[in-house]
Amino acid sequence: MSTEVKKSLHEVRFPGESVEYRRARDELLQAEIDLRRQIEAVAAQRRELPLGGVVPRDYTFEEWDAGKNAARPVRLSELFEDGKDTLFLYSHMFIPGKAGLPLEEGCPSCTSIIDAIDGAAPHISQPINFAVVARVPIEQFRAHARARGWSHARLLSSANNTYNRDYHAETPDGEQLPMATVFARRDGNIHHFWSSELFLVPSEPGQDMRHVDFMWPLWSILDRTPEGRGTHWRPELEY
pLDDT in tens, 122-177: 999 999 999 999 999 999 999 999 999 999 999 999 999 999 999 999 999 999 99
CB atoms < 10 A from the CB of 109, how many? 18
pLDDT at 97: 78
Give the confidence band of 96 by pLDDT, cuts at 50, 70, 90.
Answer: confident
Computed over every residue of the chain, the mean pLDDT equals: 94
pLDDT at 3: 44
Tell me the whole-structure pTM to 2 decimals: 0.93
Percent of the chain with pLDDT over 70: 95
Q: What ranges do the domains of the chain cover?
A: 16-48, 60-197
pLDDT at 207: 86
pLDDT at 8: 87
Phi and psi (nearest 5°) for 195? -135, 160
Residue 2 scores a pLDDT above 70: no
pLDDT at 7: 83
Q: Tell me: domain 60-197, CATH 3.40.30.10, correct?
A: yes
Residue 51 scores a pLDDT above 80: yes
Residue 1 scores a pLDDT above 50: no
Question: Whole-angstrom Cα distance, residue 79 to residue 61?
Answer: 10
pLDDT at 230: 86
Q: Are 155 and 131 in contact (CB under 8 A)?
A: yes
Question: Whole-angstrom Cα distance, residue 52 to residue 34?
Answer: 30
Q: Phi-psi category of 47—alpha, beta or left, where left has phi over 0 and alpha has psi -120 to 50?
A: alpha
Range 197-226 average pLDDT: 94
